[in-house]
Amino acid sequence: MPTSSVRAFIDPDEYASAMRQGTVGITVVQGGHFAAKLSRIELHRLWMQRFSTSAAWTSHIDYWGGQVTIAFQTQFGPNMTRNGHECAYDSISRLSASQSYYLRAVNAASYGTVSLPIDEMASFGAVVSGPDPKAANDHLTILTPAPSALRKLRRLHAAAGHLAEDAPAVLAHPEAARGLEQALIEAMLACLHGSEAEEDRAAKRRHAAIMRRFHRAIEQFGDQPVYIPELCKEIGVSERTLRACCDEHLGMSPKHYLLLRRMHMVRRALHTAAPSATTVTEIATRYGFWQFGRLAVEYKALFGEPPSATLARPTH
């Protein structure tokens, strides 16, 4: 049964958990209030998503696989970056199954994805040539389709998004959904056929492997703060190498990324705590902060409110 939904978010964690593409961890890197919108449309075999955010962010995505997915910007703006590859407005990214990657936006961003099951895509033959779509790897293929093919895909993708917002009953109708689905598949294949691919260089692959270890190491620490020396030791690389990889994939130094991670952990803890049972100081100390005045200033700059306001807000 075809379905669709359109949701707005002001909490980045709730936004990340609502995405269907995989397990997503998002870190907001720009101050001010965060706002996002996510449209999800599931037709018969094809499903698509439309994303828009108001601020710069970086994210790590463990893509679930089982699907061949292409991603592209839905509106012109600053180029996004996947695994250190700059993705231009006139390009698309083809994602491998079970792929783990970093995605970041340097400002407000709007992008979309369209996906088909691997077996469905395999029936079209040459469009899935190249890296085995069933293999878990970090290969990222960036393609430059014919401009007319990408324009058509964007137009159909936008039309589906408008229907999800204004006329969801149309999308829920099996035959209307089938007609739209076939048009989207045709546009998707047109973008994949005859595109020029950017080769994945050896240095990029080495950096992707280091960042995979970087993510696994951070995950091992769970809800505990982690710092550069112990992280480099765990990964087995120098700070200089790690800094180069993080600059490429995250657009920031590992030190700044880990600071933002700790600030987001403080925010989550404040958001779920009972004001009568704890204090801002107790929670900040738990995550390694000891300059409380500086934390308060940086926290307000990033999240748009002081820590005490987050703690005072009722949990939900």
Of the candidate CATH numbers 3.40.50.1820, 3.40.640.10, 3.30.460.10, 2.60.120.10, the domain formed by 3-200 belongs to: 2.60.120.10
Distance CA 26, CA 57 (A): 7
**Element spanning 27, H or E:** strand 22-28
Show pLDDT as tens, one digit a residue, over the chain (316 residues).
Answer: 899 999 999 999 999 999 987 788 898 987 778 899 999 999 989 999 999 999 899 998 887 767 888 999 999 988 899 888 888 999 999 887 667 888 999 889 999 999 988 887 776 653 444 444 444 444 568 889 989 999 999 999 999 999 999 999 989 998 888 889 888 988 998 888 756 555 456 777 888 889 999 999 998 888 888 888 888 888 988 888 999 999 989 989 998 999 999 999 999 999 999 888 899 999 998 888 878 888 899 999 999 999 999 999 876 5
163-167 long-range contacts, Cβ below 8 Å, gap at least 24?
163/4, 164/4, 164/5, 164/6, 164/39, 164/40, 164/41, 165/6, 165/39
Q: What is the pLDDT of residue 43?
A: 92
- Per-residue confidence (pLDDT) for residue 195, from 0 to 100: 60
Would you list the domain boundaries of the chain? 3-200, 201-251, 253-316
- Dihedral angle sign, alpha carbons of residues 251, 254, 259, 262: positive
Please tell me the pTM assigned to this model.
0.75
Q: What's the confidence (pLDDT) of residue 124?
A: 63
pLDDT of residue 226: 85
The predicted structure's pLDDT at residue 126: 39
- By the 8 A CB rule, do 83 and 101 touch? yes
288 and 225 Cβ atoms separated by less than 8 Å: yes
Q: Per the structure block, which two tokens stand in for 269?
A: 């803890």
Backbone phi, psi, residue 23, to 5° = -90, 115
**What is the structure's pLDDT at 198?**
55
For 118-227, where are the E strands, in sequence order?
140-144, 196-198
